[in-house]
A and B are shown apart, each in its own frame.
Chain A
């Protein structure tokens, strides 16, 4: 592969999206060509800067409330569909209707999922993650200090979950909560990286794990890894490669290698 071929593909290579054959030949070329290697470093530096400096905007609460109100309105008016131009009516629904819709949405959504897919632990984890995110009850103990989060969780469970500080790797501990997985209470740690929230279910061996290490369910990624005492199940909309290396290092005891 020469410099021209590499220039065409280097961006995809840096994204991990080049195919296996291309990846091998680009790697060989980069080792031999300082100019192309410098280009590759520049791409990596650009990505680091974008992720550090460019904000990922979150939906304002007012928008969320009116979308929830519109779901509520749609449910009440079913089977008649809402009309396209009918924006004012559901804009005025307000937060109260929004709350009612949220409760209804979880209730209906989780009941249906539980009915359809109650044997799939990965689906269950995604459902817990979504429910916690929507209802703003993601975090019951808010602390970035693992020595605060761990005793809080241990006091409420029949096991003591390891809690790792991953700040050096870019994952900020936000806190934890008790959630339910496979019909038992499990420790759930909440981390954040670049505006993406990650739920980590720290499960004793008794909890079943999904058969594959990485799955995508409704656009949300689920990765798991087994550690010395615990199984680790991470759920997030962050990219699969980030999520699986994160859960692997948690399972290894918080070290990156």
Chain B
């Protein structure tokens, strides 16, 4: 009793303020003995995974690591095995739910990834089979939906994007097993095609002889064969389904890009054709586009920049040139030079900077870093950035003229190490009548020329790779979060290699 009184006094004496505000790291050790449900196991694993990721970021930041200095922006699925702490947590917590034959079947979407986290592949597969057996063959949509969900889980992209349930590394061996066992049960061929196509990591078509790369190619070959066998009305259905989801357009771009490469012997064949000549490369590229049904072909051409490939690059028009004092500014692209024409307008890229948070780079950084690295890799690459006046720059508007915008833009690009000439077009604009007064920019000659008849504005970040003869080889978005840099690098290397060979003759 007396002891309790002294303890209470001590607590009171400590005062509220100190205890209230002093910050200490919470005890994050996970005691799984307190976790009694499947959802709590999920939370426990998530907590350990998140903690490990935060520790890594913190350590990186403490070392002063800036992502600009890393090889490339980390994208795509993580391929390293999960840390042992995560595996241990999953095993310990799942000891209550270790029998896949008796666990609640509706929790399969949590338990399959957690079994895989624990290293219990056989139990995970048993639960997969139990789930698939619960769906009737007479209901192809339900069967396809079940297979799609399971493929997403096994590929490490669980429904809802729950980080804790992301299987790492992706289990493509189980994906193949699933397709072999169940895909043929989906009687609707369009649904089956979608299930097959779900199994591919389209944007990461792997060259080389690794087991994973071969597996991916095998799957892609099957998808291609199935696609080729679809009737026109089935393709129409496929397109209708996909167009209902806008994000699918980008997926199509990646999908059929990979298919195209597969159809003609892979990426190496395309590069070989470019080594031979740009026209051979363009021909090979266009062949696939023509093979597609009209709607898909149009979709593909719009998404990949096929509208411009093989065309002669128009001369850039500008009212103000900066950064080309050593060389003649015009014409650009210059004859006999491998060129990259990039539409890069900080005003559109950064927008109006209304506070310090907006001076941190995000989308723009991708473009700036890529441009700098391409120039470092290929000093002879002739980069021209094309901009248009907007009437403001960052947070400045008073006293802004096209000349001032050009100067500020060039200094800004230059300060990030982007060595390029800048072509600034004085943008004609008009305003809606007062009191609306919104500024309506008109198309510039560069917009008209570089949309190649499509009309509209060329988006900031659009990059046109042009060979030494002035022919467009590749168009892509340098701000996109896909591996455009690697693809540009390959193509530019071939163009310089080819140029060197020509010069040697």
Q: Do A and B bind each other?
A: no
By a beta-carbon cutoff of 8 Å, the part of chain A in contact with chain B is none
